[in-house]
Amino acid sequence: MRLKNIITWILICALIMPTIVLVSTGTAYAFGGVDLNDNIFNVLKALLALFFLGRMVGDKNPTSEPIADPIDNSAIQNGNGEQSDDLVSQEETSPDNQPPPVEIEVVTQDDGVINHQENDALEITDNKDWTEMKVYSLNADEELMLDMLNKERLKEGLNPLKIDFKLVQVARAKSQNMIDQDYFSHFSPSYGSPFDMMQRLNIDYYLAGENIAGAPNVEWAHNELMKSQSHRDNILHPDYTHVGIGIIDGGPYGKMFAQEFADLGY
């Protein structure tokens, strides 16, 4: 800026000096017969030049628009045009980014023997309604979980599990009952153990087991079950031949899952 001012004043002086000379000599020349109007015109031109140059130096352009910064360092804006400085923290604490709740349990029984432990004192009621359920096919979630189970077994060189619709009936009744009665346990206050339920449907098994889980979706439940050694052992048990899967929407976890495994001898 200082260099610009110096150059400007040099230009002003360069314009003014000839004018001063013309003015100082103009009178003499006028008396000598030179037209004074030319000198006056030169003076006016010099004054005009001085005026414009003075504007260049004196005007700091206080009202001019600032040059836009090519990089916008302001806070990120949301869709409403409002600034949201805490966008990242909102994402970090959003419920969508929290790990979905998962609860899983496992139980197995050999030759129809199970230890009820403290659940022996519970009264078993409402034994008949669920037995009237008719099951002929799997829903989409159950199909997906069956596919995931058998992929795990095939990776280990095991035979895939076959669907038994009586086991599906047990599994669906168990999942629905856990939602309706607001509990998470292998022992139902309504139906007793999963093996009691199998016997109610006259399922003749050599070995049986149950996995239960609560999770938002099939993938999440399957992954959590596979992380747990005891549940993984049920899924990959070489002696199991059949499975029943019951997945019901509801409960505190989003979906309730029950897997009923059995060796049916064929």
Residue of 1 and 188 predicted with greater confidence:
188
- Look at residue 43 and tell me whether its pLDDT is greater than 60: no
Give a yes or no: residue 19 inside a domain.
yes
Instruction: Tell me the average pLDDT across 7-36.
Output: 49
Do 8 and 133 share a domain, yes or no? Answer: no
8 A C-beta contact, residue 212 and residue 257: yes
Residue 146: which CATH number?
Answer: 3.40.33.10
What is the 3-class SS of 150-205, one letter each residue?
Answer: HHHHHHCCCCCCEECHHHHHHHHHHHHHHHHHCCCCCCECCCECHHHHHHHCCCCC
Q: What pLDDT is recorded for position 129?
A: 85
Do 231 and 128 share a domain, yes or no? Answer: yes
Do 51 and 171 share a domain, yes or no? Answer: no
Q: What pLDDT is recorded for position 3?
A: 60
Do 42 and 104 share a domain, yes or no? Answer: no
The percent of residues above 90 in pLDDT, for the chain, comes to 51
Residue of 134 and 160 predicted with greater confidence:
160
Instruction: Tell me the average pLDDT across 212-230.
Output: 96
- Largest separation between any pair of C-alpha atoms in the chain: 142
Total number of domains constituting the chain: 2
What range defines the domain where residue 25 resides?
Answer: 2-58
Do 113 and 52 share a domain, yes or no? Answer: no
Band of pLDDT at residue 215, cut at 50, 70 and 90: very high
Report the relative pairing of strands 242-249 and 255-263 from DSSP bridges: antiparallel
- Look at residue 244 and tell me whether its pLDDT is greater than 70: yes
Do 54 and 106 share a domain, yes or no? Answer: no
Q: What pLDDT is recorded for position 53?
A: 59
Do 179 and 47 share a domain, yes or no? Answer: no
DSSP string across 67-134: PPPSS--SPPB-TTS-B-TTHHHHHHH-GGGSPPP-EEEEEEEETTB---GGGGGSPP---SGGGG--
Instruction: Tell me the average pLDDT across 147-172.
Output: 98
Residue of 52 and 160 predicted with greater confidence:
160
Q: What is the pLDDT of residues 58-77, one digit of tens each?
A: 544 444 443 333 322 222 22
Give a yes or no: residue 34 inside a domain.
yes
Do 10 and 126 share a domain, yes or no? Answer: no
Q: What is the pLDDT of residues 164-182, one digit of tens each?
A: 999 999 999 999 999 999 9
Question: Rounded to an integer, what distance in angstroms lies between the CA atom of residue 83 and that of residue 187?
Answer: 53
Do 39 and 165 share a domain, yes or no? Answer: no
In three-state secondary structure terms, 60 is coil
Do 244 and 158 share a domain, yes or no? Answer: yes
Do 259 and 175 share a domain, yes or no? Answer: yes
Do 245 and 123 share a domain, yes or no? Answer: yes
